[in-house]
Structure 1
């Protein structure tokens, strides 16, 4: 399994984690933005008219309303990425990362518009009477590339587990255990039953549930965020200023934060933004294919609103909460994850300018530093190291008050530790101390710095539960539409049963391998989809023209 995991990590490094990948995604969005004349701006108002149902006509084919299709797609994108993903981006790239998330969302609004319109245009009605659509259908029916459609559908099934299922319940279970002390298996069992009750009813029940959950969780999260933002109102102006200025200068060191280059912030901000709103991935078109509409462009316009709501509104609120509260540059007592920790040769301090400069270059993969990883032995007595010829770096910050334990924090270690290339050789050693934190843990701390005080953490926990649960619901639909394409409607029920079983299992299991598998599968979804919509660029432009010609004609006849 370790060998397989290393292969997945290598593939991800060459694909989604590669330098070129964000440029491809942004490049396609920029191309269509210019080619179609900034549709995310010109059609924004019209999109709201469509989603409210004011332009609907009776008898249109489909299973859900525009609003239900929007909330189903939003439930797939508004998830843990909005809580932990933004925090992770700021942790890595500083305030500038939020700017690049905005830029990604702005271009992603056009990408969503194109992929949803084309997928909706080539949707089909299945044997059971429901609508099925998505990139695999235009790849097959329009481009005559069945092999590409099959590859996309298989990747969608894998991603449904790796993106929408296993990591989501794993995050929920850990959050419920940390906040309320609930056993992960109990959390998994209860939510697996609720998930089954929802998804076994098909798209109509899924749409009804998500149309209730998405507005509820959004309002709850927004109220909690505003309670922090208004409490720290004097910091909002400087926070906005740093987001804009740092985008073109890089983020300077501040507190425990050691700084980030422009390139580093760009890469991390774009990555988090893209995987938060899923623009270009091809997942949202599957949800929108169910909408009652006889004009593909009208449903494409509804999808313009997704990156706006997901990233421009919700991710921005999360970012402002973190920046205005100041927690992103503070050190907190925590247990160090091995993936976040490394041990450097020599003694470094974030209070010395020369040391900060060396660490800045090292952590941002820049040249010109003399930092080396530690190789040697560390003598420890009652958890405290005796020799001082090394520095522990955790979460890209200089760790303080470092303690070594065995198995748990309470059982202090005494003896000799071997360090090889900056890593501990013993697997059972627990390292703790003060350092920066990231992901959902950082957002949780930020929500305690507002009018609700420590109770703010419960808003994050409940928000994480609702966000992640709704994501699992939406991705089950993406997976069952992919299974419908691959093996027909009869394969859907076995898939749903397996999906629920996996959901329960992941609540108490290590899903690292699945995360890495999903990272590769997402790219296998995204690249063919971007390639396909580029091939159909002329058809897209003509389809939009025909829509407006028809709309103006109907408007004239009414008047």
Structure 2
């Protein structure tokens, strides 16, 4: 097992190293930001309004509302990475890693917009009459010849594998661990409860997942963010120094202190980008699968709504975690304490056991919601490989694996999950670069026609006919 761990760490070091995924992720996000005219900055307010307040796209093909597509994507991304992943980045890369998480999130918003746009633009109707889309479809349908087919195949295979790692085993284990540590619940009981609840939701497909996440996700985020804001208010005088440390160490590295062994500039970037993408999944292509199920009158509209997911995940939830850890000063207690670092940080400012309880409940909610979101990603990816016949066996296996994750040790799973994440992102990022011209052209035309995102579905259909676009 030690040899397997070493191989996984070696492969992960290559994929997530300074010469493969990190420059590709940041470079693709930066390139798309320029190509799309900094769309994440120009349209963020309108996108938030359209997705969270208007919720006006209820016509057109689709299985769930654009708001439910957003919350399904949030359910899959706001997970253990927002709490333990951020703590790990700071424990290894130092406070400067948080700056690179922010950079990854900001440029990643352009990547998230692009993949969601393409997910809707090239979606198709499956044998059951439901919408299927994502990189496994837009890579094949948008890029002609064998290149697109190979990229689509690789993405689908890695996505199915990742759904059992990042989307299931690690999350179920986090739920069981926190249930036992905080409330004394035996992991077997947690496993059985999750087995029942996950199985019940998966029976209803994407409609059931959308209904559950649309009610569940806002409440879980509100609980965690409110707790974090209270901590930061209580320690407000320490925030300026914390911000100075974050920005300084992002470019100079961090000296050894306390249990922290020290980190150079490249380590801060590596862990900041790796944990940033682990948290918000921008560039991985996974959120495009949920976006493709949305009822929307145009791909641009859903792309903008999906883009706000990265903003909420990284610029709000992750920022809360990182600032609380740095402001309270627990970031330098060593890598071995990363699993409890966020809980310790909350406990510094909050009385009694409130800090640990809030973090434990948040981990449980975040992890459980991630399981639901990733079950859909894996199912749709498998469907693109073998058709609808794999749907029921996949749901059954996925539900069983939830129980396994809750009740066994997962020594290799985190390393395996990091590697699967990276391998998933590679074909998608290549595809985003190839298809960026189409996205930029159609985005520019639509925003010129509907800059306020308030045109009626009839107006949009007229526009599409005038453009000669075959999308419906």
TM-score, normalisation: structure 2 = 0.91
Residues 199-223 of structure 1 show CA distances to partners (whole Å, capped at 9, x for unaligned) of 1210011011111121111111012
Write the distance in 2 (CA, Å) between the matches of 1:182 and 1:55. 40
* 492-501 or 255-264: bigger deviation: 255-264
SS in 1 for 2:32: helix
Tell me which of 293, 315, 320 is aligned to 2:323: 320
Following superposition, the deviation at residue 241 of structure 1 comes to 1.6
Write the distance in 2 (CA, Å) between the matches of 1:150 and 1:288. 20
In structure 2, what is the equivalent of residue 541 of structure 1? 440
Output the aligned Cα RMSD. Answer: 2.1
In structure 2, what is the equivalent of residue 285 of structure 1? 288
Summarize the Cα distance change of 1:554–1:79 in structure 2 as closer, same or farther, 3 Å threshold: closer
Write the distance in 2 (CA, Å) between the matches of 1:80 and 1:122. 31
- Contact 2:58–2:65 (CA under 8 A) maintained in structure 1: no
Write the distance in 1 (CA, Å) between the matches of 2:235 and 2:355. 14
Following superposition, the deviation at residue 480 of structure 1 comes to 0.9
Gaps of 5+ in 1: 331-394, 397-436
Within-5 A mapping of 1:446-525: 446-525=345-424
- Contact 2:109–2:308 (CA under 8 A) maintained in structure 1: yes
Summarize the Cα distance change of 1:239–1:514 in structure 2 as closer, same or farther, 3 Å threshold: closer
**Residue 233 of structure 2 corresponds to residue 233 of structure 1:** no
Structure possessing the higher relative contact order (Cα contacts under 8 Å, 6 or more residues apart): 2
Following superposition, the deviation at residue 85 of structure 1 comes to 1.1
Following superposition, the deviation at residue 176 of structure 1 comes to 1.6
- Contact 2:59–2:297 (CA under 8 A) maintained in structure 1: no
**Residue 97 of structure 2 corresponds to residue 198 of structure 1:** no
Write the distance in 2 (CA, Å) between the matches of 1:10 and 1:202. 38
Following superposition, the deviation at residue 514 of structure 1 comes to 3.6
Write the distance in 2 (CA, Å) between the matches of 1:553 and 1:263. 41
Write the distance in 2 (CA, Å) between the matches of 1:241 and 1:3. 41
Write the distance in 2 (CA, Å) between the matches of 1:38 and 1:534. 16
Summarize the Cα distance change of 1:189–1:296 in structure 2 as closer, same or farther, 3 Å threshold: same
Within-5 A mapping of 1:178-217: 178-217=181-220
Following superposition, the deviation at residue 507 of structure 1 comes to 1.0
- Structure number with the higher helix fraction is 2
Gaps of 5+ in 2: 460-472
**Residue 140 of structure 2 corresponds to residue 140 of structure 1:** yes
In structure 2, what is the equivalent of residue 368 of structure 1? none
Following superposition, the deviation at residue 554 of structure 1 comes to 9.3
Within-5 A mapping of 1:385-404: 395=334
Following superposition, the deviation at residue 148 of structure 1 comes to 2.3
Q: Aligned residues, how many?
A: 454
Residues 321-350 of structure 1 show CA distances to partners (whole Å, capped at 9, x for unaligned) of 1112122235xxxxxxxxxxxxxxxxxxxx
In structure 2, what is the equivalent of residue 365 of structure 1? none
Residues 59-92 of structure 1 show CA distances to partners (whole Å, capped at 9, x for unaligned) of 3110111111111001111000111111111111
Write the distance in 2 (CA, Å) between the matches of 1:547 and 1:524. 33
In structure 2, what is the equivalent of residue 296 of structure 1? 299
Residues 481-506 of structure 1 show CA distances to partners (whole Å, capped at 9, x for unaligned) of 11221121221111000000011011
Residues 446-480 of structure 1 show CA distances to partners (whole Å, capped at 9, x for unaligned) of 11112333221011111000000000000000011
Larger radius of gyration: 1
- Contact 1:12–1:18 (CA under 8 A) maintained in structure 2: no
In structure 1, what is the equivalent of residue 463 of structure 2? none
- Contact 1:96–1:247 (CA under 8 A) maintained in structure 2: yes
Write the distance in 1 (CA, Å) between the matches of 2:8 and 2:85. 21
In structure 2, what is the equivalent of residue 220 of structure 1? 223
* 144-153 or 460-469: bigger deviation: 144-153
Following superposition, the deviation at residue 253 of structure 1 comes to 3.9
Following superposition, the deviation at residue 180 of structure 1 comes to 2.0
- Contact 1:122–1:141 (CA under 8 A) maintained in structure 2: yes
Write the distance in 1 (CA, Å) between the matches of 2:97 and 2:289. 29
Within-5 A mapping of 1:12-31: 12-17=12-17, 19-31=19-31
Write the distance in 1 (CA, Å) between the matches of 2:61 and 2:12. 40
Write the distance in 2 (CA, Å) between the matches of 1:52 and 1:327. 35
Summarize the Cα distance change of 1:438–1:187 in structure 2 as closer, same or farther, 3 Å threshold: same
Write the distance in 1 (CA, Å) between the matches of 2:362 and 2:413. 23
Summarize the Cα distance change of 1:23–1:35 in structure 2 as closer, same or farther, 3 Å threshold: same
In structure 2, what is the equivalent of residue 402 of structure 1? none
Summarize the Cα distance change of 1:516–1:556 in structure 2 as closer, same or farther, 3 Å threshold: closer
Write the distance in 2 (CA, Å) between the matches of 1:166 and 1:30. 33
Residues 243-263 of structure 1 show CA distances to partners (whole Å, capped at 9, x for unaligned) of 122223222344443432222
Following superposition, the deviation at residue 279 of structure 1 comes to 0.5
TM-score, normalisation: structure 1 = 0.77
**Residue 289 of structure 2 corresponds to residue 269 of structure 1:** no
Within-5 A mapping of 1:340-355: none
Summarize the Cα distance change of 1:2–1:251 in structure 2 as closer, same or farther, 3 Å threshold: closer
Summarize the Cα distance change of 1:255–1:127 in structure 2 as closer, same or farther, 3 Å threshold: same
Write the distance in 2 (CA, Å) between the matches of 1:71 and 1:512. 31
In structure 2, what is the equivalent of residue 438 of structure 1? 337
In structure 2, what is the equivalent of residue 383 of structure 1? none
- Contact 1:173–1:184 (CA under 8 A) maintained in structure 2: yes
* 509-518 or 487-496: bigger deviation: 509-518
In structure 2, what is the equivalent of residue 46 of structure 1? 46
